[in-house]
Structure 1
Amino acid sequence: MNVELAMELVVHCGPDLEIGETHGGIRRVVPITGGTFEGPKVKGVVLPGGADWNLTRPDGTGSVWARYTIQADDGTLISIINQGKSYIRSAEELNEQKSEFDFERDVYMYTTPSFEVAGEKYQWLSKNMFIGTLRPHPEGVQLRFYQLI
């Protein structure tokens, strides 16, 4: 299987809204307040108003589910649903390796974004499959979406 970069997003986030400990784990809502994105075939801005509803389970696994809208430079609106899984290395795993916690090394987040868009120009987003990575960024998160080819 081959992939190619479709776009990189820097998503600005507001303060977490912590719902708290639920039957499934700790639930948080992370408001999306803006941002930018760029790829070989599309670029523009992330519009405010979306959010990520994430869950962290006691075993270090978690899930993310975000819905938001981006706007291409030509004004086209593109809806995104991005869902995925995360894994945080446990304290026991870190102690076994005698290392300090490092988010870049010790947290893994992978997603499967899906897109809805009207018109022909960006239909490639609706017609193809993508995988994504998620990493922290000083203004929120950095996502990279790769098209499966």
Structure 2
Amino acid sequence: MPMESLPVEFLFTMTARVAPPTIIQVGPQGSRFIVSVPGGTFEGPKLKGTIVAHSGGDWVTLRPDGSMKLDVRLTLQTEDGAHILVTYTGIGARGADGTTKVYSTPLFETGAEKYAWLNNVQAVGVGTTTPGGVTYEVYALRA
């Protein structure tokens, strides 16, 4: 029987600041926006820290229908010094209120023993753009 909802566990809230984009106008896939991430923060019950400045970015494709395809790589640094690579794709669409709602599928990679449990997590992120960036609520899918 199909599920009506998915079991999730809240991981953290992440707020990323973004720099002005480099724009490649109207290519074969749509317009491309290459966006650097100069920093940000994340905080949840099991981990907290910052986004390492300029450790990644977002390669956004603005598609002909007005939606956005996300392709993101970031490095998180926990407050105890561990590094965690986050990669995700996703989709964004402008809402009637002028903000853009974004939905993503983060995966994590780390060699830090304390956070190794993240290596086997498929996460989902639900976010909203802000004037200077984006804020996500990130959840782990649970069986």
TM-score normalised by the chain length of structure 2: 0.88
Measure the CA separation in 1 of the matches of 2:77 and 2:89: 20
Q: Provide the C-alpha distance between the structure 2 equivalents of 1:73 and 1:3, rounded to a whole number of angstroms.
A: 24
Aligned residue in 2 for 1:94: none
SS at match of 1:121: helix
Mapped contact 2:9–2:141 kept (Cα < 8 A): yes
Indicate the residue corresponding to 2:123 in structure 1.
130
Counting matched residue pairs gives 136
Mapped to 1, the partners of 2:101 and 2:42 lie a distance apart of 22
- Alignment of 1:21 onto 2:26: yes
Tell me, yes or no, if structure 1 residue 143 matches structure 2 residue 129: no
Structure 2: any 5+ residue segments left out of the alignment?
A: 1-5
SS at match of 1:48: coil
Question: Residues 99-114 of structure 1 correspond to what in structure 2 (within 5 A)?
Answer: 101-104=96-99, 107-114=100-107
Q: Name the amino acid aligned to 1:120.
A: E
Cα 1:54/1:32, change in 2 over 3 Å: same
Output the CA distance in 2 between the equivalents of 1:32 and 1:144.
18
Alpha-carbon contact 1:10-1:137 (below 8 Å) kept:
no
Q: CA deviation at 1:56?
A: 1.0
User: For the residues of structure 2 that align with 1:14 and 1:124, how far apart are their CA atoms?
Assistant: 31
Q: How many angstroms apart in 2 are the aligned matches of 1:2 and 1:147? A: 9
Whichever of the two has the greater Rg, that structure is 1
Q: Shift of residue 125 of structure 1?
A: 1.2
TM-score scaled to structure 1, two decimals?
Answer: 0.85
> How much identity, in percent, do the aligned residues show?
35
SS at match of 1:103: coil
The aligned counterpart of 1:55 is: 61
Unaligned runs of 5+ in 1: 90-100
How many Å separate the matches in 2 of 1:126 and 1:9?
18
Match of 1:118 in 2: 111
Question: Do 1:16 and 1:28's aligned partners in 2 also have CA atoms closer than 8 Å?
Answer: yes
Output the CA distance in 2 between the equivalents of 1:35 and 1:138.
14
Structure 2 CA distance for aligned equivalents of residues 87 and 148 of structure 1: 23
Structure 1 residues 66-122: Cα deviation after superposition (integer angstroms, max 9, x where no partner): 111010000000001121112346xxxxxxxxxxx4134xx4321100110013211
Greater percentage in helix: 1
